Chains A and B, each alone.
Chain A
Amino acid sequence: MLVSVKDSISSWFRIEGRGISGYAFIIHRLTGIVLTAYIFLHLAFLTSLTEGESAYTSLIEKTVNIRFLPFDILLIGVTIYHSLNGLRLVIAEFFVTRYHRELFVIFIIVGVVIWIFTSYLLYRFVVV
């Protein structure tokens, strides 16, 4: 038996009284929802292929643009967080549970470094 969407969402995203692993979960859910939405967007783009190659290319060209850069960077950030935290969960669930908080901090640092680097690459790709 599932409870109402409203109650589910309010229990997933309750911030009051949470600790570090609680926030990790909340962000994981949020990024998960963003990525799911993005997959649909991505599929929509791909669907344009059914109207021919030119339709797809023109659509894509519109998005490779300095105006879309912040969204792309954000999307990369979301992906990095979701994958690294996912990896942390796998480690905690199947290998070592005890150090999950420490692992979270380490992964955040690693994630930010990767994020900055990939954002820079993306910037070069779009602007230069």
Chain B
Amino acid sequence: MEEREVTFIVKRFYRNEWREDRYEFKAVRGMTVLDGLFHIRDNIDPSLSFRASCRMGICGSCGMVINGKAMLACSTQIFDLGTDVVRIEPLRNMEALKDLISDFDDFFEKHRRVKPYLIRKEEKSIEEGEYIQTPDELRKYRQYSLCIKCGLCYDACSITGSNKEYLGPAALASACRFIMDSRDQGEDERIPLVSDHTGCWRCHFMAECSEVCPKEVDPADAIQKLKRKALIYSLKRLFRR
């Protein structure tokens, strides 16, 4: 099997100070960056801390900055990086807590703020069965429901970096997911929440969120859809008065 000597340079936030540690080891073909980190933790430096769980790109734990770009460590093959020197740092635009672990509390709090659940004006009882939704109606929002909340978009977005109140791509995509859902009736509650100065209008369409998204959610597209929805919504309200 193909083997190569690689160097991981890890930017660590350790005991409230930034430092850089270099680790050299033999990587084999098929090894992901996450496998590399586990190799370091198990064999070289057990004190290295990072988040990881599913190792199959669905839990969203292991987002980190790899050679300048936000990626999921578990879904990135070392040999695909095109270099033997791998620079790793924690996600930016969030506070670093320890080593590669950064603070997601604010990220999840923003997700909560957009009311990411089905809002119904009238509920169907369980006995009446499911709400009818055709595959075409499902397709309208399915893409946005694939978000794994890994925070990569949060790192890529310049606006989350300069405005801490901005809801950010993931939360807005989540709002869009529910607004586009044929079962949802919460437009009146949700659109005002996401169309103020912290919401979709704060987006300057850098679209880097969609570039780094590991699940092809395309949050940039979701936010532009929100802008259109918000525009139509406010026009409607104007004429209703």
Q: With A21-B207, A100-B207 given, is the CB distance from A11 to B228 under 8 Å?
A: no
Q: Find residues 195-238 in chain B having any chain A CB closer than 8 Å to their own CB.
A: 204-208, 211, 220-221, 224-225, 227-228, 231
**Is A2 an interface position by the 8 A CB rule?**
yes
Judge whether A94 and B227 touch: CB under 8 Å: yes
Chain B contacts for A52, CB-based, 8 A: none
In the complex, the answer to whether A17 meets B162 with C-beta atoms within 8 Å is no
Interface residues on A, range: 20 to 34
Q: In the complex, are the beta carbons of B228 and A12 less than 8 A apart?
A: no
Residues of A within 8 A of B158 (CB): 11-12, 14, 25
Q: Does B186 contact A (CB under 8 A)?
A: no
Q: Encode contact with B along A57-99: 1 for CB under 8 Å, 0 otherwise.
A: 0000000000000000000000000000000010011100110
Q: What does the 1/0 interface line of B67-106 toward A look like (CB < 8 Å)?
A: 1111000000000000000000000110000000000000
Interfacial residues, chain A to chain B (CB-CB below 8 A):
1-3, 7-8, 10-12, 14, 16-19, 21-22, 24-25, 28, 89, 92-94, 97-98, 100
Name B's A-contacting residues (CB within 8 A).
Answer: 65, 67-70, 92-93, 156, 158, 160-165, 204-208, 211, 220-221, 224-225, 227-228, 231
